[in-house]
Amino acid sequence: MDTCRIPENASKCSGNTMECFMVLSTQAQKISIGILCGLFGTMCVFENSLVLYLIFSSPGIRKKPSYLFIGSLALADILASIIFVCSFVNFHVFNEAGFSKEVFLLQLGGVNTSFSASLSSLLLTALDRYISISRPSEYKLLMTRKRAWTALGVLWATCATIAYLPLLGWNCCVLDSACSELFPFVDDNYLSGWLCLIVLLLGCIVYAYAHVLWRARQHVAYMEKHQAQAGKQNTRMRMDVMLAKTLVMVLAVLTLCWSPVLALMIYSLFARLSDRLRKVFAFCSTLCLLNSMVNPVIYALRSKELFSSLRRVFSHFRRQLKASEESPEAESTHKSSVLET
């Protein structure tokens, strides 16, 4: 059976080789990818939009830097889901290869920006939890809303700049260099540099959370000893510990979902991938949507403030629905329908 092999040189940049990256060969595979992307993507956008609404509709929650960082994570997941689903399904399911190199790199830059911003938001949240637990008396002075917004602005600007370097010229077409086997037009050196950045971010997050959990465990032991004396301070410490554990769960899910993709990316830098492995990579890529879909569920289950806000929203919705059903217009409509019958 003839297989579409990617050339080793810059001829990969020609438009007719885009089909070489369309690795789904059967209709069943395309339907499976389409269903996964549609289901995970729709749920991800809905859930993360709800998280953003709960954060920014509640004055008490949106004032806290911790939830600004969670809001940044939710926004990154929404953007990643929309851009990823549209570009991935269009390319692998509908086999649309008519777009230019610039359009493809623009879409890829959007996905990379969102994923990098998601990881960076987790890192900022880890640092926020570290300061809150290790230096509670100075937390409000060190972590202000202004500093939080500044950090988020720098974060998104940096992630976007790095993600769009291929579009700005760091690609194998312009440099006449070795291209990636997984992504059209992407230079292998750029891919290796981006992977180093992601691994570094993950390492910093793991280190920060390990320290946070260690300090949280110390605080739990302290609270058990001094429950009678602690009072309000203990309550705040419990909230800090709960939020720290919640974000560790978020990190664990992210690592499990993205490890296969990152492992195959790294492997592709050192060895040639078979057609089967490239298909595995395509299916593993949908795990990023699963990760983005699970994160808001963890917030709702673990964060008491978000859960309380969610209950208030549902209670308000039920009251409005009940009021509309009991309104005079609804009663007159009901009476007229009975008379007509």
Residue 72: per-residue pLDDT? 92
229 pLDDT band (50/70/90 cuts)? Answer: low
Residue 151: per-residue pLDDT? 94
Which position has the higher pLDDT, 139 or 226? 139
Structural domains present in the chain:
22-306 (1.20.1070.10)
Q: What is the pLDDT of residues 36-59, one digit of tens each?
A: 888 999 999 999 999 999 888 888
**Residue 66, exposed/middle/buried by CB under 10 A (0-12, 13-18, 19+)?**
buried
> Given a cut of 90, is residue 160 above it in pLDDT?
yes
232 pLDDT band (50/70/90 cuts)? Answer: low
Q: What is the pLDDT of residues 272-315, one digit of tens each?
A: 888 888 888 988 888 888 888 888 888 766 777 888 888 888 88
Cα(321)–Cα(190) distance, integer angstroms: 54
Task: State whether residue 93 is helix, strand or coil.
Answer: helix
Q: What is the pLDDT of residues 56-99, one digit of tens each?
A: 888 888 888 888 998 999 999 999 899 989 888 888 888 776 67
Residue-level length of the chain: 341
Cα(243)–Cα(252) distance, integer angstroms: 14
Cα(62)–Cα(58) distance, integer angstroms: 6
**Average predicted confidence (pLDDT) for the chain:** 80
Single out the residue of 75, 99, 74, 73 nearest to residue 86, CA to CA: 99
Cα(40)–Cα(18) distance, integer angstroms: 26
With a CB cutoff of 8 Å and minimum separation 6, the contacts of 325 are none
Which position has the higher pLDDT, 75 or 239? 75
Instruction: Let me know how many helices (H) and strands (E) the chain has, helices first.
Output: 15, 0
What string of DSSP letters covers 132-151? HHHSGGGHHHHS-HHHHHHH
Residue 340: per-residue pLDDT? 47
Cα(12)–Cα(317) distance, integer angstroms: 55
Residue 13: per-residue pLDDT? 53
Residue in this structure with the two tokens 């009663």, named with its chain if needed: 331
Single out the residue of 271, 286, 326 nearest to residue 39, CA to CA: 286
Angle, vertex CA 106, rays to CA 103 and CA 108, nearest 5 = 110
What string of DSSP letters covers 266-328? HHHHHSPPPHHHHHHHHHHHTHHHHHHHHHHHHHHHH-HHHHHHHHHHHHHHHHHHHHHHTSH
Across 215-239, average pLDDT: 61
17-31, 136-150, 229-243, 244-258: segment of lowest average pLDDT: 229-243
What b/e sequence results for 235-273 when a residue is b if at least 16 CB atoms lie within 10 Å of its CB, and e otherwise? eebbebbebbebbbebbebbeebbeebeebbeebeeeeb
Which pTM value belongs to this model? Answer: 0.82
Cα(144)–Cα(306) distance, integer angstroms: 21
* Token output for 335: 């009476």
Across 117-146, average pLDDT: 85
